[in-house]
Structure 1
Amino acid sequence: MDENMKIGTKSENGQSLKPQSEERYVSPPGVQNQRTVENDINKRMDMFTTEKPMRRLEDLVVSEKTKKQMASLLTKVKYHDVLYEDFGLKEVDATGGRTAINLYGPPGTGKSFAAEAIANELNMDIIRVNYAEIESKFVGETPKNIKAVFQKAKESNAVLFFDEADSILGKRLSNITQSTDHAVNVSRSVMLLELDNFSGITIFATNFASNYDSAFVRRILGHIEMPLPDKSCREMIFKKLIPSKLPIELSKSDRECIIIETEWLSGGDILNIIVNASSMALEREGYTCKVRLNDFITAIHSSKKAKEEIGR
């Protein structure tokens, strides 16, 4: 460039040269709106994190009936091409790519454990969701969060796990009296649509399966009951939950008594009983304590009383 043509210098006729203003490209309104939508979705997707599942199916203590149900559903996932291509099931099941599983039963029976173990068995990450994370007090926000979590699961190829699913799969309201009622119905309609369009694995868990809307029930491939453990299951759970370092002093008949006394209690209850019994022994005798039958029986009775009077 000629020296006289630099910005801030003068031309040959003595007139000052002004720098040319740079032209700024402004995106059309449609493109701007699209970018805004994408940024909003990405921000909502960041609310949900993928995790590496650590639980394993072989460590899950459930009845043989429950194990067979899980094995059947896992076969559907693992051998999808055989079932829907070779066996022709896609001719009669247009939603063959969708796999939704419902785990239902009392609290503490291993539903969250099972969901994580299923993801592990499938060698997939897991995204845990509860209704509090997707609900919003602002009208219209909850449906957007629902769309975002399904998109997150799709992009990360993760199992989508909804805990306390009755909160989001509940019956739609027929008597609309206020805006919040309408918002609930919209959220559930969006949930139905996203579930229909999602070709991945969705797992629901609930203590109140009877609260589900029938439209969701029809879209779930398998409903697996997670009942309270029977005697043999309680025995296995108790054995698994006793650490090798725990200073227990129990005879064979003492263990039998504990298993009998824990009837109608869940695996989660048994874990709490072991913790409480150990704490009582430590408080009574100090570091050199022994956790004995009476400690377990006291903890069991306390757990049952709480269930009867508080958690009924």
Structure 2
Amino acid sequence: MSNPLSDLLFGGGGFSAGGPQAADVVEPTRTFADVILPEETRRQLDRALTQIRKRRLIGTDWGLAERHPTGLGLAFNFAGPPGTGKTLCAEALADALDRNLMVVRYDEMQSMWMGATGKNIASVFAAARSDEAVLFFDEADAIAGRRTGNVGQGGYEREANAIVNVLLRELEEHDGVVIFATNLAANLDPAFERRIRTHVLFEMPDVEARRRIWQVQLHRQKTPLAGDVDFEALAERFEASGGDIKNAVLNAAQAAAAEPGPDQKKKIAQRHFIQGMEAVQAGKQVMKQSLFGNESGPGAAGAASLPGPNANGGPQAALARHFQDTREEQEQLATRQETLTERLETLGEQQEQQGEQLLVIERALELLTDRIDQSGQAQQKLSERFDRLEAQREKRQRQRLLVQVGVAVALVLAAAAFVLALV
């Protein structure tokens, strides 16, 4: 699946836009056999694959490419809660097409310079065309969010709108496969609705799907399991996504491996899986809580504060203490983010001022050009008048010469008559 041009642009695995990599080129290793999905989601993915594989039939053999020169690319929207398999399915789809997966890293693509982010987006699309790769925008709502009509005084909103416009244009002209994945589909700009061919909804797995996901996370021959492990009971007890189950399995394995005793006799028991999932759920609950429980303000309304150092033991309290210990660092990061945002807005204002100055200079050049043109026209008129005066002067000279010649002839004739009279 390697492409020399893509390797040149991407440096053998990543696209450099202004230094950092704006996209990672991944050779797929996971297939649809590695994914446990609801039946309806599986059918939607099968239809998506059919659309891709029948493009030549529809576009060339049926002549639709001649009637519709743009918008023939295939864009898919993978929407659903975190951990439901969107990223995994994007890789599996690329594997089914025998193509590389080009994963866009929007945090590295975004530039502090006005207009540079749009150029980076266009470069990523160009590289995807060159490599014939499947282009994947994870957390697409970060780059394809709704445009705003109120751009204010700064350049941030205007730049965000411009980025969406560039993405829409590239998507319209792109003839390859593009996948958007988002947890917040409602935040996507409405203009993407027309350009996305198929929306695939990733729902939370049911009990049977969860049971299979618990099983598929483990190695059939190598993973040692205790006799009390009951995946069906785990599936019924915990309503979790595939990503959460994966983390719970890793937590369980770490807990079992950390117990005393020889490694050869260690096994993962049911209690390890339960503790692993409880730790995952506790972490999710902590992320919903406020890090600033003692503060008031719009962001603190309705949010629960973290338990203090004297809270009861357990994973939730440990995580709470961890977040409290890093509160100062969080505040520093927030302050730094505000400073960077203000700097970006200042740069935008400066660029607007420079743009206004350029407009003034362009107007002055236009006026100077008009003055030069007018001066040239005046000079041409003066030249024409000079030519007319010169012609008149030459005419008067000829007339004077003729008069002089006439006078001379008259004098000669008079002299001749006088001589004849004397004779």
TM bin, normalised by shorter chain, reads 0.7 to 0.9
- The residue aligned with 2:176 is 200
- The residue aligned with 1:290 is 267
Query: How far off its partner does 1:152 sit?
Result: 0.4
Q: Against the structure 1 CA distance between its residues 267 and 201, is the aligned structure 2 distance closer, same or farther, given a 3 Å change threshold? A: same
Q: Against the structure 1 CA distance between its residues 163 and 189, is the aligned structure 2 distance closer, same or farther, given a 3 Å change threshold? A: same
Q: Is the 8 A contact 1:60 1:114 kept in 2?
A: yes
Q: Against the structure 1 CA distance between its residues 96 and 190, is the aligned structure 2 distance closer, same or farther, given a 3 Å change threshold? A: closer
Query: How far off its partner does 1:79 sit?
Result: 1.1
Query: How far off its partner does 1:130 sit?
Result: 2.5
Query: How far off its partner does 1:45 sit?
Result: 9.5
- The residue aligned with 1:120 is 95
Aligned to 2:203, the other structure's residue is in SS state coil
Aligned to 1:214, the other structure's residue is in SS state coil
Aligned to 2:75, the other structure's residue is in SS state strand
The CA distance in 2 between the partners of 1:73 and 1:166, in whole Å, is: 21
Greater helix content: 2
Q: Against the structure 1 CA distance between its residues 50 and 295, is the aligned structure 2 distance closer, same or farther, given a 3 Å change threshold? A: closer
- The residue aligned with 1:176 is 151
- The residue aligned with 1:155 is 130
Question: Which AA in structure 1 matches 2:249?
Answer: I
- The residue aligned with 2:286 is 309
Matches within 5 A, 1:238-253: 238-243=214-219, 244-251=221-228
| Alignment partner of 1:107 out of 52, 58, 82 | 82
- The residue aligned with 1:28 is none
| Alignment partner of 1:75 out of 28, 40, 50 | 50
- The residue aligned with 1:52 is 27
Question: Which AA in structure 1 matches 2:120?
Answer: N
Cα offsets for 1:61-110 (capped at 9, x unmatched): 10111111111111111111323455565588664521001111111111
Query: How far off its partner does 1:174 sit?
Result: 1.6
Q: Does 1:140 align with 2:115?
A: yes
Q: Is the 8 A contact 1:45 1:151 kept in 2?
A: no
Query: How far off its partner does 1:58 sit?
Result: 2.1
Q: Does 1:97 align with 2:72?
A: yes
Q: Is the 8 A contact 2:249 2:273 kept in 1?
A: yes
Moved more, 122-131 or 276-285: 276-285
The CA distance in 2 between the partners of 1:295 and 1:219, in whole Å, is: 47
- The residue aligned with 1:17 is none
The CA distance in 2 between the partners of 1:53 and 1:79, in whole Å, is: 22
Alignment coverage as a number of residue pairs: 270
Q: Which has the higher contact order (CA 8 A, sep 6+)?
A: 1
Give the percent of matched residue pairs that are identical in Structure 1 and Structure 2: 36
Q: Against the structure 1 CA distance between its residues 100 and 208, is the aligned structure 2 distance closer, same or farther, given a 3 Å change threshold? A: same
The CA distance in 2 between the partners of 1:182 and 1:205, in whole Å, is: 24
| Alignment partner of 1:230 out of 186, 200, 206 | 206
Moved more, 60-69 or 279-288: 279-288
Question: Which AA in structure 2 matches 1:280?
Answer: A
Question: Which AA in structure 2 matches 1:203?
Answer: I
The CA distance in 1 between the partners of 2:64 and 2:237, in whole Å, is: 48
CA RMSD of the aligned region, Å? Answer: 2.3
Q: Does 1:300 align with 2:277?
A: yes
Question: Which AA in structure 1 matches 2:225?
Answer: I
Question: Which AA in structure 1 matches 2:238?
Answer: T
Aligned to 1:169, the other structure's residue is in SS state coil
Question: Which AA in structure 1 matches 2:159?
Answer: A
Query: How far off its partner does 1:283 sit?
Result: 2.0
The CA distance in 1 between the partners of 2:71 and 2:159, in whole Å, is: 30
Query: How far off its partner does 1:211 sit?
Result: 0.6
The CA distance in 2 between the partners of 1:79 and 1:151, in whole Å, is: 23
What is the TM-score normalised by the length of structure 2?
A: 0.60
What is the TM-score normalised by the length of structure 1?
A: 0.80
Q: Against the structure 1 CA distance between its residues 256 and 43, is the aligned structure 2 distance closer, same or farther, given a 3 Å change threshold? A: closer
Cα offsets for 1:258-308 (capped at 9, x unmatched): 121222x11111111111112222222342322211121122222223223
